[in-house]
Amino acid sequence: MSAQTETFVIDLPGPRRKRSAKPKAAAKNKAAKRPKRKPTGARVYALKVEGERIRSQKQLREVFLSQRGDRRATLFVSSTATQLAPLVDVAHHEVGDLRLFVWEKLAPERREYLQTLFRTVVSPGGQLELLASDELAEVLSSDSRADLLVAGSVNRVEGVVVLYRGSLDRLAVPLGWFGRSSDVEPDFDDFEVTDYGQTVRFGGFEAATDAILYAFDAKFRSRMKQRQLELDDSLGGSVRRLRELRGLRRSDFAPLSSKAIARIERGEIKSPRAATLETIAKRVGVEPEQISTF
């Protein structure tokens, strides 16, 4: 599982309405009869995102400033940009690695301002293709959101697609990389992120998000390799686990060479000779027939 970022969902109350001149009791009675207003539009989706709720301007400023100097990424989710207005007072402070997702289109000047506060700002509009809103809310709430995509934009001039992960980290993938060994050519004019961020679609061509991350993110690749090694139930996998358990190096199995041990671990030698297994077993302190049980 990837490292999780902290999430704050900004949900400030709307502007206060003028008080009615009616007597208090009558107003109270009317309010009781009125059905509770349900969130609408982008707020519906923003409130689906799991995270700590920010419900006042004071709390927003405090949370924002508390991230100062924090190296961990923090994700803020907001249905509108106007909710971020209280940050004007603290804009001059140095802050940490803050990322913002806003569910509405941003005017260029507002985006420019927000980019002084947040390292990454993602919102609909421009060339950016976003995941469908209901799927987006699920991805932003997911523990594995850094391994899922929320948006992307195709840049034909540079020949890349810039993909945004659920953590709002960016990844640039050359368009040429997609066009290999397939029965269909990717259509870069028809692009979307789909399947809850697990697939990138170019026309009738689809690429798995994990295949993209495996190719372009060394940390993701190493995590997947580790998972694969843990799953390896071959004799080679058992030898490797036993060796690591005992804190031994491959060169610690004399008279066997470290190269021979590596070949056994990789599965290139599937059935080692009995004498070889005895040497390994003796060195790791088990009976030969017990090796495969590790």
Partner 1 sequence: MVYTLDMPKPLRDKGWKVKIRNLERTEDPHVTILWKTRSWRYNIRITGFMDNEPDPRLVPGGVVDHIQEKLDLLRTEWDKKHPENPIDSGEGGE
Contact set with partner 1 (CB under 8 A): 138-139, 142, 144-145, 148, 178, 180-184, 186, 195-199, 201, 204-208, 210-212, 214, 224, 227, 231, 267
CB count within 10 Å of CB 59 equals 16
Distance from the Cα of residue 157 to its chain's centroid: 27
∠ CA 41-162-155, rounded to 5°: 105
Secondary structure class of 194 (helix, strand, coil) = strand
Which residue, 129, 70, 118, 66, is CA-closest to 96?
Answer: 70
CA dihedral in degrees (49, 50, 51, 56; nearest 10)? 50
Nearer to partner 1, 91 or 215 (CB): 215
AA identity, residue 168: L
Query: What are 100's strand-pairing partners?
Result: 76, 121
Using alpha carbons, list the distances in angstroms from residue 95 to 39, 61, 111, 265: 31, 12, 17, 47
Cβ of residue 201: shortest distance to partner 1, in angstroms?
A: 8
Q: How far apart are CB 274 and partner 1 at their closest, in Å?
A: 22
292 half-sphere exposure, CB direction, 13 A CA radius: 9
Distance CA 264, CA 252 (A): 14
Task: Tell me which H or E stretch contains 228.
Answer: helix 218-231
How far apart CA 279 and CA 291 sit, in angstroms, is 11
The angle that helices 218-231 and 209-216 make with each other, rounded to 10 degrees, is 110
**Please, are residues 227 and 243 in contact by the beta-carbon 8 Å criterion?**
no
**Min separation Cβ 70 and partner 1, Å:** 26
* SS3 (DSSP) at 54: strand
Q: What number of H helices and E strands is found in the chain?
A: 10, 12
